[in-house]
Amino acid sequence: MASLRRLYPLCSSSINRTLFSASEAREGFGGSFFRGYSVIASSEQTILRPDDDCGQVAADSFITDDEIRKIRHEFDAARQCFHKVPKVLKGMPKMNPKGIYVNKNLRLDNIQVYGFDYDYTLAHYSANLQSLIYDLAKEHMVNELRYPEVCMKFKYDPTFPIRGLYYDRSKGCLLKLDFFGSIEPDGCYFGRRKLSRKEIEELYGTRHIGRDQARGLDGLMDFFCFSEACLIADVVQHFVDAKLEFDTSYIYEDVNRAIQHVHRSGFAHRGILADPHRYLVKNGELLRFLRMLRDKGKKLFLLTNSPYYFVDGGMRFMLEDSLGYKDSWRELFDVVIAKAKKPEFYTSEHPFRCYDTEKDTLAYTKVDAFLPNKIYYHGCLKSFLQITKWNGPEVIYFGDHLFSDLRGPSKAGWRTAAIIHELESEIHIQNEDSYRFEQAKFHITQELLGKLHSTVAQSQRCEAYKSLFEELNKERQNARSMMKRMFNRSFGATFLTDTGQESAFAYHIHQYADVYTSKPENFLFYPPEAWLQSPFDIKIMPHHVKVPSTLFEN
């Protein structure tokens, strides 16, 4: 989140001059100490005079007590405003839940080719899909991998996981990391039990994950990872409760193998197509967006890991109410590539194969051109560029998986658009007055705590200091807890940690996505010739709320 400016007015200028002068006198340039001098602070000036050590201690004690009283006064004044939401909040601008947020400047008039992933990019799924994947995976673990029969009683818990978590294979913990690779203090779970800060320190030694430790972490970044994270936690918890010995790396391998089996076997695909009303969301706006691009003369291609029959069934269902009987969804795309095996697609040299939709077979002839209304399987980026002659900067690719979908295109010179469905709901929460109010409370108490720490030396922390510290810390913890529960009771927001830092997931969005939004059709709200500019006044993520410094003034 963009760092918030000061949320409470500073002390008067005369007081600030006194504090600054006193600090300079005590520490000197670079922190040196003037021996044999004490400081007497007045509202007019700061006087240096020779004195003995007792006088120095007395003067320091006087300044310390005075500073604690000033911070106490600031806190009490701010706390008077904590009883109701300030009116100024209602006048603050709201962030657009359907907006396009820009990490790197993008001129849409330079984009001539639009590429799309299918799952969770063009296809919108309901929350029921996670339960389906979870149930199919646990059945595979019981029936094929011989896990205990009791695992069949597990139920998917939608309130537990978020996207962007990491699983530590060596220690068995699900972790939420911040932008700098440190473990979120309230975001470390072993099974379904949250570990305390003390337990985290005993387990890791430090909250920061170093490069060597990071090699043992597996990122759970796409939308299918919800069911995977929940199943990992449930299986670990079962073994703990049953007091059975187990290797945490095997748990991950088996759960991941089961999840992959659900996809590759087609069980999930067939389950979705068998009851599309339960799992797929119809979307006429998507058709409007794709047709608008075609009308503007843009080239379109579909590049997905899913098999053609699944994509065809899903697109027909989603667009059937607005597509019309005479038109086929395939006519919207210049090239359709299925079973592309991303991310290998971007680095391998696999050849393209033409797919016969009637016979469900692959042709043996070499593919040296993409023909209209044909379907292609496999392939690689190198061959794709040779055949199409589409240059990198004129291509933008839309996808939801940061590593499989966006990292390869980003390195290849394509522009990239991350599709993050939960962005819409999180912005709605951030726009609420109640959230912004708690956020302001958190930051002002955080600021006062920092001021208290910097003012009072370790040796001078009296009862007044301890009392104020406890009150400030309690207020800060309450605000942080309130904000977290508004998003997810276990891990909080997807893009933020509980301390207001950007998450590791936000870091990867910033690294691999030129722009990000909740749905591709949000581009309908922008002209195809628009220049999308990154805001100049943001720290990392441009969609984050910025609370003004005048919130609690007067």
Residue 338 parent element (H or E): strand 335-338
301 and 265 in contact (C-beta within 8 Å)? no
Active site residue 119: yes
Shortest CA distance to 304 belongs to which of 269, 262, 338?
338
Distances (CA, A) of 286 to 142, 266, 328, 519, 523: 39, 25, 14, 9, 10
Q: Is 51 annotated as a binding residue?
A: no
Q: How many whole angstroms separate alpha carbon 14 and alpha carbon 37?
A: 22
383 and 352 in contact (C-beta within 8 Å)? yes
Q: How many whole angstroms separate alpha carbon 128 and alpha carbon 450?
A: 45
Active-site position among 117, 168, 178, 254: 117
Q: What residues contact residue 480 under an 8 Å CB cut-off, 6+ apart?
A: 442, 498, 499
Taking each helix axis from N to C end, the angle separating 284-295 and 308-323, rounded to the nearest 10 degrees, works out to 90
The amino acid present at 552, given as its one-letter code, is: F
Q: How far is CA 375 from the centre of its chain?
A: 34
Quote the strand ranges of 420-522, DSSP E. Answer: 515-517
Active-site position among 119, 178, 222, 498: 119
DSSP structure class, residue 10? P
Q: How many whole angstroms separate alpha carbon 501 and alpha carbon 182?
A: 10
**Mapping DSSP to helix (H, G, I), strand (E, B) and coil, where does residue 550 land?**
coil
For strands 299-303 and 217-220, give the pairing: unpaired
Q: How far is CA 392 from the centre of its chain?
A: 27
Active site residue 157: no
439 and 547 in contact (C-beta within 8 Å)? yes
Q: How many whole angstroms separate alpha carbon 481 and alpha carbon 394?
A: 45
Give the CB-side neighbour count of residue 488, counting CA atoms within 13 A. Answer: 24
Burial class (CB in 10 A: 0-12, 13-18, 19+), 16: exposed
Tell me the H-state helices in 99-172.
128-143
Q: Is 498 annotated as a binding residue?
A: no
Q: Is 212 annotated as a binding residue?
A: no
| Phi, psi dihedrals of residue 154, rounded to the nearest 5° | -60, 145
Q: What residues contact residue 48 under an 8 Å CB cut-off, 6+ apart?
A: 25, 34, 37, 39
Shortest CA distance to 228 belongs to which of 139, 156, 153?
156
Residue positions annotated with a catalytic role: 117, 119
Binding residues for Mg(2+): 117, 400
Binding residues: 117, 119, 400
Binding residues for GMP: 119
